[in-house]
């Protein structure tokens, strides 16, 4: 067991402090935006959502008509909306300074692999905690469940609920009501009128992608921001398939297993989102997927407390509060594989 040692001269003395407003926004933003989905801007990021934001959807159809001398109203305009409500979350963390000071001192000497070396012990520990916050945020964006502690409702739950709300069984067939995501229409096994996702492996990933792409609405197919969102397992399966398993004996471009293969399927970019669960694929426009937060608002705070001046311990506390939430816009423009 590691013996506890007292700090000696030259080791950091950390004042109790509160970072508020702009500086807090920078700290929390650095943490949350390090999540891969956000860092690569795979979704639209809406900051400064203090309570909720209304995402309005405008559907216009049948507006072109034969010319006449009179003003004749034609077509229809339907305005609907979805609500993005970020959930308030917090970090109450107590760390022992001694567990980190050696690493911090080494970083000051230039042995760090990080691009930017935090100048102060405060910044170092906040960046460390921020990395953990980023990992949890990435998981919540896709697989989060609002009823669970420390989680907000992720895309998978929202999309599954939309599919289920619009799916009814009529003589074994699937019918879909307006305003929800259509049930998957590819070649997935169908039992009792509801599609089963099934595992995605290197042996079937290309066939699955074909089914998904064929289910993309014509009005969406070809849009510049159309993406195939996949989890780590599906991304691995696709790379393996291009290595020779499904595209011929020599693999992609005769490279066999050497080098990374392009994350692109028939002209649609594939983006790997580590927070997604296994065997899930979402085909959607980036502009139809939203992440909202109040992290840049001036009421956010990061409190840094050195407990040595309070209770004589070597503990160091980091306290954060921030809000996070996701929502999609037009349901009919999304294909979700793995809804059940």
Distance of alpha carbon 339 from the chain centroid = 17
CA of 1: how far to CAs of 4, 102, 147, 267, in Å?
A: 9, 17, 38, 56
Q: What is the pLDDT of residues 116-175, one digit of tens each?
A: 555 677 777 777 777 788 889 999 999 999 989 999 999 999 988 887 766 544 444 444
Q: Give me the mean pLDDT over the 230-244 stretch.
A: 88
13-59+78-195+289-340: CATH topology is Major capsid protein gp5 fold (3.30.2400)
Q: Tell me what the mean pLDDT of segment 278-303 comes to.
A: 81
Tell which phi-psi region holds residue 140, choosing left (phi > 0), alpha (psi between -120 and 50) or beta. alpha
pLDDT-derived band at 261, boundaries 50, 70, 90 = confident
pLDDT in tens, 79-120: 667 788 889 888 898 888 777 777 666 666 555 444 455 567
pLDDT confidence of residue 6: 39
Which is nearest to 285 in space by CA: 225, 328, 214, 329?
225
Burial (CB count within 10 angstroms: exposed 0-12, middle 13-18, buried 19+), residue 315:
middle
Note whether 212 and 337 are within 8 A (CB): yes
Which of 215, 205, 332, 180 minimizes the C-alpha distance to 278? 205
Look at residue 2 in the predicted model and tell me its pLDDT. 40
pTM for the model stands at 0.75
What is d(CA 240, CA 300) in angstroms, rounded to the nearest whole number?
Answer: 44
Q: Which pLDDT tens digit goes with each residue over 327-338? A: 998 888 888 888
Would you call 202 exposed, middle or buried from its count of C-beta atoms within 10 A (0-12, 13-18, 19+)?
Answer: middle
Break the chain into its structural domains and give their ranges. 13-59+78-195+289-340
């Amino acid at each position: 067991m590691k013996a506890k040692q007292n700090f000696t001269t030259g080791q950091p003395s950390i004042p109790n402090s509160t970072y508020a407003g702009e500086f807090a926004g920078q700290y929390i933003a650095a943490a949350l935006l390090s999540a891969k989905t956000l860092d690569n801007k795979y979704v639209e990021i809406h900051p400064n959502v203090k309570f909720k934001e209304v995402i309005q959807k405008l559907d216009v159809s049948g507006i072109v008509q034969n010319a006449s001398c009179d003003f004749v109203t034609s077509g229809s305009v339907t305005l609907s909306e979805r609500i993005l409500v970020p959930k308030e979350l917090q970090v109450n963390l107590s760390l022992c300074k001694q567990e980190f000071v050696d690493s911090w001192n080494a970083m000051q000497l230039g042995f760090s692999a990080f691009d930017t070396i935090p100048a102060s012990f405060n910044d170092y520990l906040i960046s460390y905690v921020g990395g953990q916050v980023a990992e949890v945020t990435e998981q919540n964006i896709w697989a989060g469940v609002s009823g669970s502690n420390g989680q907000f409702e992720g895309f998978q739950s929202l999309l599954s609920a939309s599919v289920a709300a619009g799916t009814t069984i009529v003589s074994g067939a699937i019918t879909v009501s307006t305003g929800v995501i259509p049930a998957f229409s590819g070649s997935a096994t169908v039992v009792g009128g509801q599609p089963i996702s099934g595992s995605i492996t290197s042996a079937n990933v290309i066939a699955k992608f074909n089914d998904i792409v064929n289910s993309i609405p014509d009005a969406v197919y070809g849009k510049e921001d159309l993406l195939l969102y996949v989890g780590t397992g599906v991304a691995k399966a696709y790379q393996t398939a291009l290595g020779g398993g499904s595209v011929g004996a020599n693999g992609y471009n005769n490279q066999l297993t050497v080098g990374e293969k392009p994350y692109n399927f028939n002209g649609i970019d594939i983006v790997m989102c580590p927070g997604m669960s296994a065997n899930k694929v979402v085909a959607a426009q980036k502009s139809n997927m939203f992440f909202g937060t109040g992290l840049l608002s001036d009421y956010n705070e990061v409190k840094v407390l050195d407990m040595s001046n309070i209770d004589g311990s070597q503990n160091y506390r980091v306290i954060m509060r921030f809000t996070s939430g996701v929502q999609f816009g037009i349901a009919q423009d999304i294909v979700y594989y793995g809804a059940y």
